[in-house]
Chain A
């Protein structure tokens, strides 16, 4: 089936800086995308979602951007905090979710 992938396996940022995590997807028919955060030993935690009829969606300190032309998603985290350290996955929704490989975000104090 189609797959969703990530460009960077590890991202290290300074506390207080903004973080950008990128994701490429391959199914142009996909109409719903989700970002999850997974901390060590825990299940994926919903962060934000976006439907294909939108280009941008904002949450609390997070923004997701969708570029359908190049089939690209990004997650922006403002004022990154130590508690943001985790692995971040983008996922493409069908019946089951198709997950990318994940990006580990490390926040340096």
Chain B
């Protein structure tokens, strides 16, 4: 158990809908990262938040957004969902905001868009 929690574990929705994925980092970690894992794209970095502020963006679509709350949990919002958004979404956390730190991953949320 990495100490990172994610809810829900599974999510099934329809195209055009909006969903929210939730992540709680390890105790003491200030950074939260979101990743998408799909069969054709592999594991891809989406976005990072550090202590409530956005720190870095990766391959995140404009339809997707995230935020980190004062208690450091984070939410990833996916809107206008398309079939191709079906994937595993992972959250990871680390102590600080920069590289050279181990990121610990949660168990993921499996999203299926029908």
Interface residues of A (CB under 8 A from B): 31-32, 34, 36, 42-46, 49, 51, 89, 93-102
Contact = CB atoms under 8 A, between A and B. Distances in A.
Given A95-B48, A96-B58, A44 B101 contact: no
Nearest to A42: B107
B64 interface: no
List of 6 A-B pairs having minimum Cβ-Cβ separation, nearest first: A96-B45, A95-B56, A43-B105, A93-B99, A99-B43, A32-B100
Contact of B43 (A44, A45, A46): A44
Contacts of A102: 42-43
27 contacts: A31-B100, A32-B99, A32-B100, A32-B101, A43-B4, A43-B105, A44-B43, A44-B105, A45-B2, A46-B104, A46-B105, A49-B102, A51-B100, A89-B43, A93-B99, A95-B55, A95-B56, A95-B97, A96-B33, A96-B45, A96-B46, A96-B58, A97-B92, A98-B45, A99-B42, A99-B44, A102-B43
Given A31-B99, A43-B2, 16 more contacts: A34-B102, A34-B103, A36-B105, A42-B107, A43-B106, A43-B108, A44-B105, A46-B102, A46-B103, A93-B99, A95-B45, A95-B55, A96-B46, A96-B56, A97-B92, A97-B103
A95 B102 contact: no
Contacts of A49: 102
A27 to B, nearest CB: 11
Interface of B: 2, 4, 33, 35, 42-48, 55-56, 58, 90, 92, 97-108
